[in-house]
Amino acid sequence: MMTRLDPTVPVVDAVDLTKIFPGPPAVNALRGVDLRIAHNDYLAIVGPSGSGKSTILNMLGLLDRPTSGALRFGGVATETMSEDARAALRSEHIGFVFQAFHLLSRRTVLENVMLAAMYAPVPRAEREERARAALDRVGLSHRVSFTPATLSGGERQRVAIARAVCTSPGLLLADEPTGNLDRNSSDSVMELFEELNADGIAIVIITHDDDVAQRAARRIRISDGTLQELT
Ligand SMILES: Nc1ncnc2c1ncn2[C@@H]1O[C@H](COP(=O)(O)OP(=O)(O)OP(=O)(O)O)[C@@H](O)[C@H]1O
């Protein structure tokens, strides 16, 4: 069964992370990064191209390992974990949203969302109900049997968000989620993030859009692999 993260423990506590891509030439993508994310945080990461935004998001999402440093997820040390154990943590506690939606074009909206539940410890009998609830949550109950191609960009991103949250993760990681959207769709995605955050999901979002960054409660600038908290 699913277990929830303890809200009194940071969702992520990263200390002195470095990441060196060996190359050649070797790239120091993260240089001594400390980052603590609380269960109610809403954090935007901004920074120029190549500064390390995707690299840090991949660490937070347990998709990649640091070269050195420590990263605790929900209070649990992840450095010494097997890939299988990391994948299990990821599918249970972390939702991902991408700029390009990454929906399966031949599947319906409902099937796309149900697929996320298949990879998480959600009992088979609960998957459809969970997926329908998540789609209701993002305002797309009337689109369950459509295919992604028939939806607007904003609707597609809301399906992707439903897919990310249908397993009730404690952390939502979003890489340029509004990068392909017009202002109106972007605003509705941001409203949704604010509601999800108020419901207790920690959110980390990479963005180039100042308006999007301004709506986050916390902002961090990354430049050349070093973090700076903005006030
Ligand atoms: N697999 C890799 N092998 C070698 N170098 C890499 C690899 N991945 C990233 N890098 C380098 O690490 C640095 C940080 O890359 P990263 O993708 O984190 O930047 P970013 O801030 O996300 O950029 P963008 O905004 O363009 O997506 C860059 O110099 C990049 O070239």
CA distance 68 to 16: 7
Ligand 1 pocket test: which of 53, 99, 175, 223 has the largest number of ligand atoms within 8 Å of its C-beta? 53
CA atoms of 228 and 44, how far apart (whole Å) = 12
Q: Please indicate whether residue 51, judged by its CB atom, sits closer than 6 Å to ligand 1.
A: yes
**pLDDT for res 2:** 55
Atom of ligand 1 minimally distant from the CA of 55: 18
Q: How far does residue 27's CA lie from ligand 1's centre (Å)?
A: 9
Residue 55, ligand 1, Cβ within 6 A? yes
pLDDT at 1: 44
Q: Looking at the domain assignment, is residue 223 inside a domain?
A: yes
- Is the reported ipTM for this assembly greater than 0.90? yes
First-to-last C-alpha distance (Å) of the chain:
40
pLDDT, tens digit, 9 for 90 and up, residues 152-204? 999 999 999 999 999 899 999 999 999 988 999 999 999 999 999 999 999 99
- Residue 215 domain-assigned (yes or no): yes
- Say which amino acid occupies 41: D
Domain presence at residue 32: no
- For residue 20, is it within any domain? no
Does residue 87 lie within any of the structural domains?
yes
In this predicted structure, the answer to whether residue 118 has a pLDDT above a threshold of 80 is no
Q: What CATH number does the domain containing 109 carry?
A: 3.40.50.300
Which atom in ligand 1 lies closest to the alpha carbon of residue 51? Answer: 21
Query: Each residue of 191-218: pLDDT tens digit?
Result: 999 999 999 999 999 999 888 999 999 9
Cβ of 54 below 6 Å from ligand 1? yes
Tell whether 27 is covered by a domain: no
Q: Is residue 11 within 8 Å of 38, Cβ to Cβ?
A: yes
Q: Compute the distance from residue 127 Cα to the ligand 1 centre, in Å.
A: 36
Domain-embedded: residue 23: no
Of 83, 128, 122, residue with least CA distance to 3 = 122
List of residues 6+ apart from 183 with CB closer than 8 A: none
Check pocket membership of 9 for ligand 1, CB cut-off 6 A: no
Residue 49 CA to ligand 1 centre (angstroms) = 8
pLDDT tens by residue, 40-95: 999 999 999 999 999 999 999 999 999 999 999 999 999 999 999 999 999 899 99
Residue 7 lies inside a defined structural domain of this protein? no
Average pLDDT over residues 121-139: 89
For 38, the token pair is 């609380």
User: Could you give the CA distance from residue 135 to residue 60 in angstroms, rounded to a whole number?
Assistant: 26
Residue of 21, 28, 99, 209 with the most ligand 1 atoms within 8 Å of its CB, for mutation: 21
Host domain of residue 148: 38-64+79-230
